Amino acid sequence: MKQKRQKTWTPYAMVLPAFAVMMLVVVLPIINTILQSFKTADGTFTMANYQYFFTSKEAFQSLIFTAIEAFSTMILAIIFSFLLALYLRFSKSKISKLIGRLYLLPRFIPGIVAVYAVMNIIKDSGFINRFLQLFGIVYKPGLLYDIKGIILCNLWFNIPFSAMLLSAALSAVADSYVESARDAGCSYWKIFQKIIWPLVYKDVIVAATFILMGQIGAFTIPYLTGPNNPKMLGILLYQQVNTYLDYQKAAALSVLMFLLCLGGAVVYIKSNMKEEVWEKGR
């Protein structure tokens, strides 16, 4: 009887430390932030903190700017990484093998180093301009301190990450599937539509969700390469805390950013819970 009780409580005892830490550093701060977002500096209940981000021109522009940047980065990163993953999976050339060994290299370069490296390439006095001047061409890309610069830097980090996830998913597509379809006269588009996509689309959603949630709270890249106005939500949050010392508005913005990320998480969970046709009846 004693051994049975020990077996019953052992799993809970093992989970308890991790659960306690999660409650302490995640759940309680979230609850405190939500409560603070509905208060003024003197503790009075108010909705003004949320109204500010939808009525203030600067705040609303930052919200739209963040949405445009986040979705642009997500779409471009998924497209390029999917094409790269397809090439690495189905190409047998030496070039594809070389790329397969090197494409994760950007993940091992410190973020701040990579950002400054990209900045030295894309700025108006950077490598692109200096190289073209050798041929008598003066070209100023105008990419830095603009949304295009933020997107380019984010693609540097997100394409290898997404390609890694999608390459793992594509490994489930056996060569025999493709060869059988080709023998049956299917075009490459039909093979992609009927064989490859149904097997990997969940992983595409996972990669897209991670990219999107990462962009909503991004700080380092927008801070170094983005414009002064409009700005990303992460920069706006930083200013509310450190420049204006308005912790109530900062709490409201944190809740809004959390809800945006929660929307992506819901899509991710629903896509993973969806039962496929071939899974029914197992």
117 pLDDT exceeds 50? yes
| Total residue count of the chain as it appears in this document | 282
* Alpha-carbon dihedral sign for residues 97, 101, 107, 111: negative
User: What's the Rg (C-alpha) of the chain?
Assistant: 24
pLDDT at 128: 86
pLDDT at 162: 93
pLDDT at 47: 94
With tokens 């050339």, the residue in question is: 93
Domain 57-274: state its class: mainly alpha
Which of 73-82, 95-104, 234-243 is the least confident region? 95-104
One-letter amino acid for residue 31 of the chain: I
pLDDT at 136: 85
In the predicted model, what is the mean pLDDT of residues 96-109? 85
Bigger pLDDT: 238 or 229?
238
Do 146 and 227 meet the contact criterion of CB atoms below 8 Å apart?
Answer: yes
For the stretch 59-89, pLDDT in tens is: 899 999 999 999 999 999 999 999 999 999 9
Average pLDDT, the chain: 87
pTM of the model: 0.85
For the record, the structure tokens of 186 come out as 């299917």
Which of these, 166, 118, 170, lies nearest to 144 by C-alpha position? 118
275 pLDDT exceeds 70? no
pLDDT at 278: 45
Give yes or no for a cis peptide into 230 (omega within 30° of 0). Answer: yes
Q: How confident is the model at residue 165 (pLDDT cuts 50, 70, 90)?
A: very high
Count the Cβ atoms, other than its own, within 10 Å of residue 150. Answer: 28
pLDDT at 7: 62
* Alpha-carbon dihedral sign for residues 274, 278, 163, 144: negative
Largest CA distance in the chain: 88
43 pLDDT exceeds 90? no
Give Cα separations from 196 to 28, 126, 155, 203 (angstroms): 43, 41, 24, 12
Percent of the chain with pLDDT over 70: 94
Give Cα separations from 60 to 55, 56, 144 (angstroms): 7, 6, 23
In the predicted model, what is the mean pLDDT of residues 26-37? 91
Give dist(CA 262, CA 254) in Å, integer.
12
Q: How confident is the model at residue 234 (pLDDT cuts 50, 70, 90)?
A: very high
124 pLDDT exceeds 70? yes
Give Cα separations from 272 to 33, 158, 204, 268 (angstroms): 30, 22, 11, 6
Beta bridge partners of 103: none
For the chain, give every domain's residue range.
57-274
| Local structure of residue 275 (DSSP, 8 states) | P
Percent of the chain with pLDDT over 90: 36
Give Cα separations from 267 to 101, 213, 235 (angstroms): 32, 12, 26
